[in-house]
Amino acid sequence: MDDLNEQAERALSDQEIAQLAAQGEYLERLKSSPPLVRLSEEFPEEVAFFQRAIIWPSNKEGFYTRAAYHATDGRRPWQPFKKFGGEWQHLYKSLVLDLAEKHLDFDRFCRTCPAKSQVRPRDQETAF
């Protein structure tokens, strides 16, 4: 058995051994780092502020979200948030929270959002 281990070690180049060691260090750092929590749990006041800044409840049936900070290229800064098929989406607390977190920190939102979130990006929309 020892002969097999020695042969395997000799088969790896110094660069490959260094890469494996670096990956091991990275994994150890990941294990020791604190778990990633939702943005709203870490900064509740800031997220509440941005909820008001990016969501505009316009009527009883629906709401608008901020698509841009300035009207450019013919796009309005506020876009209606509608379901597939053109119906207005009703506004509820968890959706407001998800929209704000997605707007503020997309990478963290992708890693921490609930599995059943309506605005959860599909796998092909993320880079990881």
**Can you say whether the dihedral through the CA atoms of 103, 107, 113, 116 is positive or negative?**
positive
Pick the most confident of 22-26, 32-36, 89-93, 121-125: 89-93
Q: Place 33 in a pLDDT band, splitting at 50, 70 and 90.
A: low
Angle at CA of residue 90, ends 86 and 93, nearest 5°: 145
Cα separation, 127 vs 107, whole angstroms: 9
pLDDT of amino acid 34: 67
* pLDDT > 70? residue 53: yes
Sheet holding 78-80, edge to edge: 55-56, 64-66, 78-80
Report the alpha-carbon distance of residue 56 to residue 72 in Å, rounded.
19
Phi, psi of 118, rounded to the nearest 5 degrees: -70, -30
